[in-house]
Amino acid sequence: MYEERPSRLPGAVVWTNTPTGPGARPVLPDGCMDLLWSEGRLLVAGPDTRPYVPEGDPVRWAGVRFRPGRAPVLLGVPACELRDRRVELADLWGAAEVRRLRVRVDAAPDPAAALEQLALERAADTPPPDPLLGGLVAALQSGRPVGRTADELGLSTRQLHRRSLSAFGYGPKTLARILRMQRALAMAREGVPFAETATRTGYADQAHLARDVRELAGASLRQLLNEGG
């Protein structure tokens, strides 16, 4: 069973996932990165451009999902180096430090809360992300075109692309597609007809929505809704 709540870290979400049956649902691209704990392991989920399906037997997970652009500053690594990857936190922070953190999380009665505390402590020791990135995400979430957004932020498209690779793991056009798909999924879950969803989220038509969802999520919109994705 999947559960989540807002984190004390602004813009983040704390979540847990306890398996209730065989198999695991794909994790869809959402523009975010996660700090993960699972059965004594600490990992980082990089930004996805395709659905990610956990391998092996279902296990218990806890995570902190950071708002787009926040995790690279906390982790000390450009997002593009982690794109479509799950990596051990020890590969980024060193084995000795992560061993100490892992013991701390393992011993906690609530691993998700312990993981959140680690993120809060890390955030207190690192600079805030570039405020321009928040403006970029807000503009793309509202459906503004990338070129217009670059102009409004006072950047060339090349500068915007370079900053986006470091902060989000991919260029602003890919980020815009992923954020738009997530808006469409949220709207469709609320019962908005697919054709209206396509129009309201900036797709050319319902067929365009269907193609984009299948390319990014690996399934049709209706399949995702039926599976609770």
Would you state the pLDDT for residue 81?
Answer: 97
Question: 111 and 32 in one domain?
Answer: yes
Question: 135 and 64 in one domain?
Answer: no
Question: 170 and 98 in one domain?
Answer: no
Average pLDDT (115-122) is 97
Q: Mapped to the 3 state alphabet, what secondary structure does the chain carry?
A: CEEEEECCCCCCEEEEECCCCCCCCCECCCCCEEEEEECCEEEEECCCCCCECCCCCCCCEEEEEECCCCHHHHHCCCHHHHCCCEEECHHHHCHHHHHHHHHHHHHCCCHHHHHHHHHHHHHHCCCCCCHHHHHHHHHHHCCCCHHHHHHHHCCCHHHHHHHHHHHHCCCHHHHHHHHHHHHHHHHHHCCCCHHHHHHHCCCCCHHHHHHHHHHHHCCCHHHHHHHCC
Question: 119 and 149 in one domain?
Answer: no
Question: 118 and 8 in one domain?
Answer: yes
Distance, CA of 202 to CA of 132 (rounded, Å): 23
Instruction: Provide Rg for the chain, Cα atoms.
Output: 18
Question: 174 and 212 in one domain?
Answer: yes
As for how many domains the chain has, the answer is 2
Summarize pLDDT for 145-180 with one digit per residue, the tens.
898 999 999 999 899 999 999 999 999 999 999 999
Model confidence at 23, pLDDT cuts 50, 70, 90, reads low
Would you state the pLDDT for residue 109?
Answer: 95
Looking at the chain, the whole-number percentage of residues with pLDDT higher than 70 is 97
Question: 186 and 85 in one domain?
Answer: no
CATH number at residue 176: 1.10.10.60
Model confidence at 185, pLDDT cuts 50, 70, 90, reads very high
Question: 82 and 39 in one domain?
Answer: yes
Would you state the pLDDT for residue 20?
Answer: 72
Question: 116 and 7 in one domain?
Answer: yes
For 76, phi and psi rounded to 5 degrees?
75, 30
Last residue of a domain, one of 73, 103, 124: 124
166 and 44 Cβ atoms separated by less than 8 Å? no
Average pLDDT (5-18) is 96
Last residue of a domain, one of 124, 142, 161: 124
Q: What's the domain range around 158?
A: 131-227
Question: 160 and 50 in one domain?
Answer: no
Summarize pLDDT for 127-146 with one digit per residue, the tens.
988 888 888 999 998 888 89
Last residue of a domain, one of 106, 124, 142: 124
Would you state the pLDDT for residue 43?
Answer: 97
Question: 115 and 204 in one domain?
Answer: no
Question: 70 and 16 in one domain?
Answer: yes
